Structure 1
Amino acid sequence: MNDNIIYTETDTGLNRFFAKIYGLVGFGIGLSAFVSFLMLYVFSDNMVAIMTSHSLIYYGAIILELILVFLASGAARKNTPAALPLFLTYSALNGFTLSFVIVAYAQTTVLQAFLSSALLFFVMAIIGAVTKRDLSGMGKAMYAAIIGILIAGLVNLFIGSGLMSLIISVVSVLIFSGLIAYDNQMIKRVYEGTGGNVGNGWAISMALSLYLDFINLFLSLLRIFGRND
């Protein structure tokens, strides 16, 4: 009977940890979507001006994004108060830069990619949370594959091959789908490894990882669905 009580308390605590993480992920994605909406429909004139005359603003935002994601990740690992503001700032800035990508595609394509990403994310998250198989090896392989994808993407900037672009997008979908499962298993491992004593930093760190998984999955599917846009 005491064992049942312990298991129940553990499951409840783990569920709360998952809920906290996914609350942050949802808020981050919602914030990005809101900022993208504002850029596309409220500040569309400013967006055109940036694309035509002030492109350095866009590229500067990309560089700032890279800096913020490293700062947010580091702050989360150290469990500092700056972790959450950095994560939210990064999410908002990412919404700004995403709007310049989304504007190139039809609305139906964007909606199709978003819904497909959400469904695939949900399925892979469940798989990662319930599977008994150790996904550590797969996670390491997926992170190594990201480097290969980045190199292939840089090469394709000069080649401009539509086929290579499609292959990169398909492989990216596989990579980030695998990482979603891996990161969800990591949530359980972090909780169990700390004996349930997980701080806000861990929640923000895991939320950032899942947020990045979703965004990259969305962009990969967007490129696949919008090949003819």
Structure 2
Amino acid sequence: MTPIMQNSYDLASNTQAVRNRVLRNTYWLLALSMIPTVLGAFVGVSFQLPMPSGFMGFALFLAIAFGFFWGIEKNKNTGVGVALLLGFTFFMGLMMTPLLTRTLGYSNGASLIMTAFGGTATILAVMASIATTSKRDFSAMGKWLTAGVVVVLLAMVANIFLQMPALAIALSVMVIGIFSAFILYDVQRIVNGGETNYVTATLSIYLNIYNIFTSLLSLLGLGGSND
């Protein structure tokens, strides 16, 4: 093997090692982030903490969430970024309080939650597997998925005032589809070297999982039983 070929081989090996490390660290941090999420949900449900609702509540949620996003991105290369990410996941657990309280009010509420969890885990496993094994390039999906998120956010704001059950159902289905596709996009960005920071990568995939889970649970709640 010539020196040039050897250098190219070493460079490719190092690059692949970096990508594998980012993906591995992302999965570990993602698993860790579930702990504060569950803790936040437990605290919220146990103490029946009131969550802001309506348009002002939605605006407050976005302000806090984007504040976390800014802080995490600014400190993504330090331990502060990890701490902020875990703090954000605790906050998101708290924000599930109304949905979980309503679901647990059904006689089969615990079963619905486990079903939503299992469905979310299945979607994550399938999409992540496709992203890491498929030769297809999913990078072109990014702009369309982002546009879809904007449409969903606008529709959510509209439904705060309209209160249309059919629109709420349609939004849940759209969210599941969009963020399932986002898992493909985000995981492949790591695999292809487009994302090299595991904190940023974890935040992206966490948001995908969170939105899929809550939307699935909302849809399953339609079949909740009070018997």
TM-score by length of 1: 0.80
Decide whether the 8 Å contact of 1:61 with 1:93 is kept in 2: no
Decide whether the 8 Å contact of 2:128 with 2:187 is kept in 1: yes
Find the counterpart in structure 1 of residue 207 from structure 2: 212
Find the counterpart in structure 2 of residue 68 from structure 1: 68
Aligned residue identity for 1:87: L
* Gapped regions of structure 2 (runs ≥ 5): 104-108
Decide whether the 8 Å contact of 1:149 with 1:172 is kept in 2: yes
Kindly provide the CA deviation profile for residues 1-43 of structure 1, in whole angstroms up to 9, marking residues without a partner as x.
8688776665444333211011111111222012212433xxx
Q: How many residues align?
A: 210
Decide whether the 8 Å contact of 1:113 with 1:225 is kept in 2: yes
Decide whether the 8 Å contact of 1:136 with 1:182 is kept in 2: yes
Cα RMSD for the two superposed structures: 2.6
Find the counterpart in structure 2 of residue 122 from structure 1: 125
* Gapped regions of structure 1 (runs ≥ 5): none
Aligned residue identity for 2:97: S
Tell me if 1:138 matches 2:144. no
Inter-partner Cα distance in structure 1 for 2:67 and 2:11: 42
Tell me if 1:30 matches 2:57. no
Q: 1:85 to 1:113 in 2, by over 3 A?
A: same
SS at match of 1:226: helix
Find the counterpart in structure 1 of residue 92 from structure 2: 94
Decide whether the 8 Å contact of 1:117 with 1:217 is kept in 2: yes
**Per-residue deviation, 1:148:** 0.3
Decide whether the 8 Å contact of 2:20 with 2:191 is kept in 1: no
Inter-partner Cα distance in structure 2 for 1:141 and 1:134: 14
**Per-residue deviation, 1:211:** 0.5
Q: Greater shift after overlay, 63-72 or 4-13? A: 4-13
Inter-partner Cα distance in structure 1 for 2:211 and 2:52: 23
Q: 1:157 to 1:130 in 2, by over 3 A?
A: same
**Per-residue deviation, 1:96:** 1.6
TM-score by length of 2: 0.81
**Per-residue deviation, 1:143:** 0.9
Tell me if 1:21 matches 2:16. no
Inter-partner Cα distance in structure 2 for 1:71 and 1:12: 28
Kindly provide the CA deviation profile for residues 75-114 of structure 1, in whole angstroms up to 9, marking residues without a partner as x.
32xx344211111111111112222321111221111111
Tell me if 1:227 matches 2:227. no
Kindly provide the CA deviation profile for residues 159-186 of structure 1, in whole angstroms up to 9, marking residues without a partner as x.
2221111111111111000000000011
Q: 5 Å matches for 1:179-190? A: 179-190=182-193
Find the counterpart in structure 2 of residue 150 from structure 1: 153
Q: 1:130 to 1:75 in 2, by over 3 A?
A: same
**Per-residue deviation, 1:55:** 5.1
Find the counterpart in structure 2 of residue 176 from structure 1: 179
Inter-partner Cα distance in structure 2 for 1:28 and 1:177: 19
Decide whether the 8 Å contact of 2:130 with 2:184 is kept in 1: yes
Q: 1:151 to 1:189 in 2, by over 3 A?
A: same
Q: 5 Å matches for 1:191-202? A: 198=196, 202=197
